[in-house]
Amino acid sequence: MPAWAYVNGKFVPFEEASLPVEDRATQFGDGVYEVARIYEGVPFAFSDHVQRMQKGASIIGIPWPWEEAELQTMVDELIARNNQQDGIVYWQVSRGTAPRSHVFPPQADPNLTAYTRDYPDHAAAWEQGVKVTIERDVRWLLCHVKSVNLLGNVLAKEAAASKGGAEALLEREGYGIVEGGSSNVFIVKDGVLATPPLSELILPGITRSYVLEIAAEQGMSAAERYISREELLQADEVFFTSTGVEVMPVAAADGHTIGSGVPGPVTKQLLAAYKERVAAACSTAPR
């Protein structure tokens, strides 16, 4: 357990950190959150995370009183207090605390909470690839907002886990496989990458955008388009991306072996390049 958490301007012992019962994230899922990976004590792509959060808050009308530098200072202090060299930092902004009513409260200050946590090692999974399942996407229509309404994701990931899957790939009627329960999805066919386009149906993943950038730098071609279940099952390689798992190879989906059932060359190349990018960013970050 980490030593410290942050609640509305104060660092408090982790076990004492809490939100009021009428916090709107608790009652309505009325809030946004971010998860950044900490490498060598540095939160990677912090600015990208803050920008996405601010945009999400604006889409759902949550006021935004913070400068990015204030959030950076808060997260840096939290990391230092917890001596969190490696792990994740989670932070959340809810619309605030107010007597329960669905309509926005006339007066409420957003609640900002944050903490760090250790993060498990994925070396074996990167080496061997993981199994995933395909689940129906029952989520709402503003999936581009990283809101704390995660019930659709939770149910899909639980369904996958109950069948031994490390991730649930979400299939939305009329669109095919859109993303993972907590990741973005890519396929590789004949050396060409494909990933669903940015829309209200998926989270604009920060890892996704870095992977697309890296692919372009390495001269790979990549299409942003929808992917059907059949295409995914017949792909040469499938992988999913997120802050936590970085670039995760898929060995099998819904019991079908993907490619030769081991991480393919494109996935391995992108994972290695992503790790290089992380190492470069963290070694040059101011401390």
List the structure tokens of 245. Answer: 């798992």
The correct pick among 182, 188, 215, 249 for binding ligand PDD (CB under 6 A) is 182
- The catalytically annotated residue of 10, 55, 131, 146 is 146
| Interactions with ligand PDD, residue window 208-227 (CB under 6 A) | 208
The correct pick among 82, 97, 116, 184 for binding ligand PDD (CB under 6 A) is 184
146 part of the active site: yes
The correct pick among 41, 244, 282, 285 for binding ligand PDD (CB under 6 A) is 244
Point out which residues pair with 171 in neighbouring strands. Answer: 136, 177
Residues 6+ away with beta carbon under 8 Å from 236: 188, 189, 190, 259, 264, 266
Nearer to ligand PDD, 133 or 242 (CB): 242
For residue 26, how many C-alpha atoms fall within 13 Å in the half-sphere facing its CB?
14
149 binds ligand PDD (CB under 6 A): no
Q: How far from 212 is each of 16, 62, 68, 129, 242, CA to CA, in Å?
A: 41, 30, 25, 20, 13
Residues in contact with ligand PDD, counted by CB under 6 A, come to a total of 15
**Least distance (Å) between residue 170 CB and ligand PDD:** 8
206 binds ligand PDD (CB under 6 A): yes
57 binds ligand PDD (CB under 6 A): no
Q: Which stretch binds ligand PDD (CB under 6 A): 63-71, 224-232, 239-247, 249-257?
A: 239-247
Point out which residues pair with 257 in neighbouring strands. Answer: 252
87 binds ligand PDD (CB under 6 A): no
Spatial separation of the C-alpha atoms in residues 135 and 115, rounded to whole Å: 31
241 binds ligand PDD (CB under 6 A): yes
116 binds ligand PDD (CB under 6 A): no
Point out which residues pair with 10 in neighbouring strands. Answer: 7
Contacts to ligand PDD by CB under 6 A = 35, 153, 179, 182-184, 203, 205-208, 241-244
Catalytic residues: 146
